[in-house]
Amino acid sequence: MNQSEMLASYRGDPMLMGIGASLLCIGLVAIASASIEYGDFHFGNPWHHTTRHALYLALGVAAGAITYMTPTQTLKQFSPWLLFLAFALLILVLMPGIGREVNGAQRWLPLGPLTFQPSEFAKFALLLYVAGYLVRQEASVRHQWQGLAKLVGILAIVAVLLLAEPDFGATVIAVGMVVGMMFVAGAKLQYIGAMLIAVGMALVALVISAPYRLQRLTAYQNPWDDPFGSGFQLVQSLIAFGRGEWFGVGLGNSVQKLFYLPEAHTDFVFSIWAEETGLVGAFALIMLFVSLVARILRTAWRVAALDHHYEAYVCFGAALMFAGQVFINMGASSGLLPTKGLTLPFVSYGGSSLIMNCALLGIILRISGQHLFDKPPLSTRKRRQRA
């Protein structure tokens, strides 16, 4: 590798970096617009949330720079310790007097003027650990159910701790991400099918056992039956989509953010964005996310062809996590899915989510640049020539 290639190899994927930067900029603009009245009413400062989001954005860029400079082998080596730390934080947040409760959910750890959400770190740590486990136990995972047993046990512990907060949305993302990574790793379909059936039965039991979850599940099917009760949020969100029409009402001109749509800068920021920028702006944001996931998958396939399996699993897991969160958030906003407390990656207000997403993007950028000039193994090149 000559000097120019060495410099380029640590530049990462310019297109992926551009997509990430575009999403971060859109997020800052969307939060500034969606939260200005809410911040003025509750905190006496219209730029309260914008300032905090900008601070979290700076921390997120710093976290991304750190992970970008960290070798992937170091992440692989320390992933069990990161998972252990995630377990400790998930237990700590449930302790009375330590975790902060908001709207009936105890998900946040206060850190002075800021707060931290352990579930976001848990998803990040779980992703890195599962990628390493699938490499270490490759043969066992593909051919023996015992190879998946330990992984399923770890996932069950994480799911139980998340549901205790409760954080149903994060649980769905964690389970979907791990199951998807198992499938990519070549686990037998009957094992994955049995696991999905068990998870599905558990989720149904959880929904039935909690009246508010059952109410959410049924309310989204026809929110107009109870527009001022269980269907209120979705009705206001759909009104926002309708007001946006083709080109929107203009940035800052949303009506639904004027306390019609509760806390519009968090889970329903996409609704306000669609109202202010219309179908054109909403479609552009969707295409940015599609491009982000497609670019990550491209990186995953490329490094998989180079037999860098750990890096490939990390990229596949990241693509599944980002795609799942985007689909659930936008689906809940548009009435396609029941409402869930999941942020829109890089866009919604939420410091922990923003920081961990930036850290994960930094890892993917390093992977995309680190193996830019690697040549495929001889066996892979021969298969391509025969094809």
Note if the pTM is more than 0.95: no
Mean pLDDT of 190-219: 73
Percent of the chain at pLDDT > 70 equals 89
Range name among 259-268, 295-304, 369-378 with the lowest pLDDT average: 369-378
In this predicted structure, what is the pLDDT of residue 338? 80
- The pLDDT > 90 percentage for the chain reads 48
- State the average pLDDT for the chain: 85
Residue 293 or residue 140, greater confidence: 293
Task: For residue 356, tell me if it sits in a domain.
Answer: no
Q: Residue 37 domain-assigned? A: no
pLDDT at 284: 96
Query: Is residue 256 assigned to a domain?
Result: yes
Tens-digit pLDDT profile for residues 312-369 = 999 999 999 999 999 999 998 888 888 777 889 999 998 899 999 999 999 999 998 8
Q: Return left, alpha or beta for 124; rule: phi > 0 is left, psi -120 to 50 is alpha, else beta.
A: alpha
Question: What span, in angstroms and rounded, lies between the C-alpha atoms of 161 and 308?
Answer: 32
Residue 39 lies in a domain: no
Q: How confident is the model at residue 3 (pLDDT cuts 50, 70, 90)?
A: very low
Q: Is it the case that residue 379 has pLDDT exceeding 70?
A: no
Scan for tokens 């953010």, then name that residue: 257
Question: CB pairs under 8 A, 24+ apart, for 153-158?
Answer: 154/83, 154/126, 154/129, 155/126, 157/87, 158/86, 158/87, 158/90, 158/122, 158/126
Number of domains composing the chain: 1
Give 19 or 108, the one with higher predicted confidence: 19
Angle formed by the axes of helices 232-244 and 309-334, to 10°?
A: 90
- Domain of residue 295 covers 78-350
Question: What's the start-to-end Cα distance of the chain, in Å?
Answer: 28
Is a pLDDT exceeding 90 seen at residue 299? yes
Within 13 Å, how many C-alpha atoms sit on residue 213's CB side? 13
Q: Report whether pLDDT(304) > 60.
A: yes
Q: What is the pLDDT of residues 95-122, one digit of tens each?
A: 888 888 777 778 888 887 788 899 999 9
pLDDT computed for residue 313 by the predictor: 96
Check pLDDT > 60 for residue 384: no
| Domain contains 11 | no
Higher pLDDT, 156 or 363: 363
Q: Is the pLDDT of residue 8 over 50?
A: no
Q: Select the more confidently predicted residue: 26 or 140.
A: 26
Q: Is a pLDDT exceeding 60 seen at residue 374?
A: no
3-state secondary structure the chain: CCHHHHHHHCCCCHHHHHHHHHHHHHHHHHHHHHCHHHHHHHHCCCCHHHHHHHHHHHHHHHHHHHHHHCCHHHHHHHHHHHHHHHHHHHHHCCCCCCCEEECCEEEEEEECCEEECHHHHHHHHHHHHHHHHHHHCHHHHHHCHHHHHHHHHHHHHHHHHHHHCCCHHHHHHHHHHHHHHHHHHCCCHHHHHHHHHHHHHHHHHHHHHCHHHHHHHHHCCCHHHCCCCCCHHHHHHHHHHHHHCCCCCCCCCCCCCCCCCCCCCCCCHHHHHHHHHHHHHHHHHHHHHHHHHHHHHHHHHHHHHCCCHHHHHHHHHHHHHHHHHHHHHHHHHHCCCCCCCCCCCCCCCCHHHHHHHHHHHHHHHHHHHHCCCCCCCHHHHHHHHHC
Q: Is position 177 within any domain?
A: yes
The confidence score (pLDDT) of residue 222 equals 76
Residue of 194, 261, 308 whose CA lies nearest to 35: 261
Give long-range contacts, CB 8 A cutoff, 24+ apart: 271-275: 271/236, 271/237, 271/240, 271/241, 271/333, 272/30, 272/33, 272/34, 272/240, 273/26, 273/30, 273/34, 273/347, 274/240, 274/241, 274/244, 274/248, 274/333, 275/240, 275/241, 275/243, 275/244, 275/248, 275/249
Question: What Rg value do the Cα atoms of the chain yield, rounded?
Answer: 21
Q: What is the pLDDT of residues 36-64, one digit of tens each?
A: 888 888 888 889 899 999 999 999 999 99
**Residue 373 main-chain phi, psi, to 5 deg:** -110, 10
pLDDT value of position 187:
81
Give the pLDDT of residue 376. Answer: 55
Q: How confident is residue 65, by pLDDT bands cut at 50, 70 and 90?
A: very high
* pLDDT of amino acid 211: 67
Structure tokens, 268:
């329903």
Tell me the mean pLDDT in the region 57-76: 94
In this structure, is residue 82 part of a structural domain?
yes
Question: What integer is the mean pLDDT of 170-189?
Answer: 89
- Is 261 within the bounds of a domain? yes
pLDDT at 241: 92
